[in-house]
Structure 1
Amino acid sequence: MVVMKMKFPFAKRVKLAQGLWLLSWLATVAGAVTFFMGCFLKIELRKRAEVMDNTEIHAVPHTLMIVGLASLGINYFAGRICQDALDASRFPQWKNFVKPFFCGSSFFTFLMLLAVIMSYAMKGNLEDSLKIGLKNGIRFYKDTDTPGRCFQKQTIDRLQMEFKCCGNTNYRDWFEVQWISNRYLDFSSKEVKNRIRSNVDGRYLVDSVPFSCCNPSSPRPCIQHRLTNNSAHYNYEHETEELNIFIRGCREALVNYYMGLMNTIGAVVLSVLVIQVSVLVSLRYLQTSMDAVVGQENAEIETEGYLLEKSLKETFSEYVDPVLKILLLNQVSAGTPEAGAATTTTPS
């Protein structure tokens, strides 16, 4: 059963070929945009790799770069086919190429759809990655002399100032770790000794935060030490001094930033996907309408074009069955030596 059949007079085929040529170039530009968006997202993720725990979220930019490059090739050949479409003597050279071309194009179009879905669905992985990564970043903040962690302090400080955030969940995360290196502690001080002895792990824990948590919009000089001690500062109430330091956690700030970025990219790629599907549908109509012209003396006859020659189920089986047969043959050939060994009998 032919799916979505349409009649194409010569004038309509000409307009279809011309429109498809312009559309294929538009899709080529859109593919380049998709590739560069993938590169941009990859760079943005690499910038904060030190505060991210896994690389699963890099699947989004990798997919965008792959489909962007594939789109360039797909639409280049689509444009070439359009140029030869109205020449009955030149079009048959594409006949054997069109079927695998549509298979590859459909696969990469599906990948583009997958990239759109992933860009909206990666919030959970992103949040988990930042939760662990920021926790480790805060824990290693003091290790400026440790190889591999020398720039951890600089990374966290720049992050907190850039995104106007403090800590992982909030500023109290700094109260749970020793973020001041031992080299800057006076161990002859009674206060330092008491704080270390009062902690079961022997850590120097204080209700203080790094300078990068200070909010420059605060009307008073920043209070970053003894944050919970109201009597240590004049006219101070730590529960109401919201402008003194950044209240928002860096995990929330980064998740909002990256999800805003991914949602914008997802919307753009969705538009690119619509253009790409339009190219494939139009190209299919042009190809099937031109097949009837091949071998005819009059190239200006009216022809019929269609989207699928058979039903969707039959078409799917036509493409998938050969692949399944190849896989089954490989499995059988791999198991043949074992089967032969199992059936070997000893002579009596």
Structure 2
Amino acid sequence: MFDTFKSAKPFGRETLSDRRTDMAVGKVTFSKAEREKLAEVLWLLNWISVVTGVILFSLGLFLKVEIQKWAEVMSEHGTFYVPHMLITTGLAACCINYLGGQICLDCADTNKFLRWKLVMMPYIVCTFFFTSCVLAGALMCYSIRSQLEESLFLGLRNAMRYYKDTDTPGRCYLKRTVDMLQIQFQCCGNTGYRDWFQIQWISSRYLDMTNSAVVDRLRSNVEGKYLMDGVPFSCCSTFSPRPCIQQHLNNRTAHLHYDQQSQQQNLWRRGCRQALLDHYTGIMESIGLTVLLIWLFELLVLTGVRYLQTAMENVLLLGDPDLESYGWILENSLAEMARSNFNIIKNLGKCYQVDDDPNINVPTAAAEREVPSQQVQVPVTS
């Protein structure tokens, strides 16, 4: 097959190729053995990239499960797009790198490369966009903190508001969820234990309406809520040196030897929003660092595939598979590419310009005089 390329090679091909690569970015010379070695290494790296794709998928699945554990205390404020992004990117990585391994394995042979020649450039473009998605996923892991904080604030506020609705469908498990959250993360309330003072967290069916104190407390509130300076049992600290004090927290005389200023040993002082935010931030930072390392690895593989593609295309132009060939990242510099694209756009604009001169293509009198009329001689017959 290479005899055809040799016979079709024009005179001075090497000189023209050298001139064409003067402006190339990252130009490297590859011998035949180096091209074959590069193809073999890229085949191995692509298979390793398939494993990194599985890792991306697993990280996204793990993050989704972790968020799903406490989804009841989160609002639907875009907290699931990061794990979905990682899951999708991981599946795409497995497919793209599997195809890349097959391509690089065939590129070790110059004749087999002809089957993939037209596929190489679309494959590199798709891989570039995929690699950009991996980088975007890594950056999302670090930028989601503010959205996660807002989601936790709104979700915990609603969960605490519906804490008492144990007999309402759709809310009956919120009390258990909030209690487990406060016990597991050693936290209390949204931003602190005083958040429980502002809501009615005791169900009305447990209130003794025959008690005048209960009725007076309900009437004293504009919205008719039973508010009290108390917290659920799950706010009690396990490190408290005395039995937990849950009610009348603002009344210093209601308890023996009770000091309101030093009650931090009695209740959890940290809010659950901050506790969950720290928990998820630690997970996000670890995942983000892992995804960033995967992005650097994928970028290395993409660079190697680009060098292999250009080196194999140039050896086809030379017509001899045993010759050295150039490989590069970009055929022209960034400034040259920008200038070329600008000229293309400028020329496209000229195509739509219309001359409004009414005399266009209308010959003038002077022009008619300058153009001699052709005289046709007619033969005279006698």
- Residue 174 of structure 2: aligned partner: 152
1:298 Cα deviation (Å)?
4.5
1:313 Cα deviation (Å)?
5.9
Judged with a 3 Å threshold, the aligned counterparts in structure 2 of structure 1 residues 121 and 161 are, in CA distance, closer, same or farther, namely same
Look up the SS of the partner of 1:137 in the other structure.
helix
- Residue 284 of structure 1: aligned partner: 306
Answer yes or no: is 1:192 the counterpart of 2:214: yes
- Residue 72 of structure 2: aligned partner: 50
Asked if 1 retains the 8 angstrom alpha-carbon contact of 2:59 and 2:86, the reply is yes
Q: Which moved more, 1:269-278 or 1:8-17?
A: 8-17
Look up the SS of the partner of 1:7 in the other structure.
strand
The list of structure 1 runs, each at least 4 consecutive aligned residues, that deviate by more than 6 angstroms after superposition, is: 316-322
- Residue 146 of structure 2: aligned partner: 124
Question: Within 5 A, what are the aligned runs for 1:138-287?
Answer: 138-287=160-309
Provide the rounded CA distance (Å) in 1 between the counterparts of 2:335 and 2:89: 26
Structure 1: which 5+ runs fail to align? 323-348
Provide the rounded CA distance (Å) in 1 between the counterparts of 2:230 and 2:128: 57
- Residue 338 of structure 1: aligned partner: none
In structure 1, what residue type is equivalent to 2:129?
Answer: F
In structure 2, what residue type is equivalent to 1:169?
Answer: T
Alignment partner of 1:88 out of 94, 110, 122: 110
Deviations 1:272-300 (CA, angstroms, capped at 9, x unpaired): 00010001000110111111333767423
- Residue 20 of structure 1: aligned partner: 42
Look up the SS of the partner of 2:263 in the other structure.
coil
Asked if 1 retains the 8 angstrom alpha-carbon contact of 2:131 and 2:298, the reply is yes
Asked if 2 retains the 8 angstrom alpha-carbon contact of 1:120 and 1:266, the reply is yes
Judged with a 3 Å threshold, the aligned counterparts in structure 2 of structure 1 residues 321 and 240 are, in CA distance, closer, same or farther, namely farther
Provide the rounded CA distance (Å) in 1 between the counterparts of 2:115 and 2:84: 34
Provide the rounded CA distance (Å) in 2 between the counterparts of 1:9 and 1:303: 7
Deviations 1:76-113 (CA, angstroms, capped at 9, x unpaired): 11111121112111111111111111111111111111
In structure 1, what residue type is equivalent to 2:331?
Answer: E
- Residue 329 of structure 2: aligned partner: 307
1:29 Cα deviation (Å)?
0.8
Look up the SS of the partner of 1:241 in the other structure.
helix
Provide the rounded CA distance (Å) in 1 between the counterparts of 2:262 and 2:62: 40
Judged with a 3 Å threshold, the aligned counterparts in structure 2 of structure 1 residues 40 and 316 are, in CA distance, closer, same or farther, namely farther
Provide the rounded CA distance (Å) in 1 between the counterparts of 2:339 and 2:239: 65
Look up the SS of the partner of 2:111 in the other structure.
coil
Deviations 1:132-177 (CA, angstroms, capped at 9, x unpaired): 1100100000001111111111111111111111000100000000
Asked if 1 retains the 8 angstrom alpha-carbon contact of 2:124 and 2:305, the reply is no
In structure 2, what residue type is equivalent to 1:218?
Answer: S
- Residue 8 of structure 1: aligned partner: 30
Structure 2: which 5+ runs fail to align? 1-22, 345-382
Paired-residue identity, %: 47
Alignment partner of 1:109 out of 131, 137, 149: 131
Provide the rounded CA distance (Å) in 1 between the counterparts of 2:28 and 2:141: 37
**CA RMSD for the aligned pairs?**
2.0
Look up the SS of the partner of 1:53 in the other structure.
coil
Provide the rounded CA distance (Å) in 2 between the counterparts of 1:68 and 1:316: 33
Give me the TM-score of the superposition, normalised by structure 1: 0.88
- Residue 63 of structure 1: aligned partner: 85
Asked if 2 retains the 8 angstrom alpha-carbon contact of 1:92 and 1:294, the reply is no
1:57 Cα deviation (Å)?
2.0
Give me the TM-score of the superposition, normalised by structure 2: 0.80
Provide the rounded CA distance (Å) in 1 between the counterparts of 2:81 and 2:53: 18
Asked if 2 retains the 8 angstrom alpha-carbon contact of 1:160 and 1:166, the reply is yes
Q: Which moved more, 1:228-237 or 1:287-296?
A: 287-296
Look up the SS of the partner of 1:32 in the other structure.
helix
Look up the SS of the partner of 1:173 in the other structure.
helix
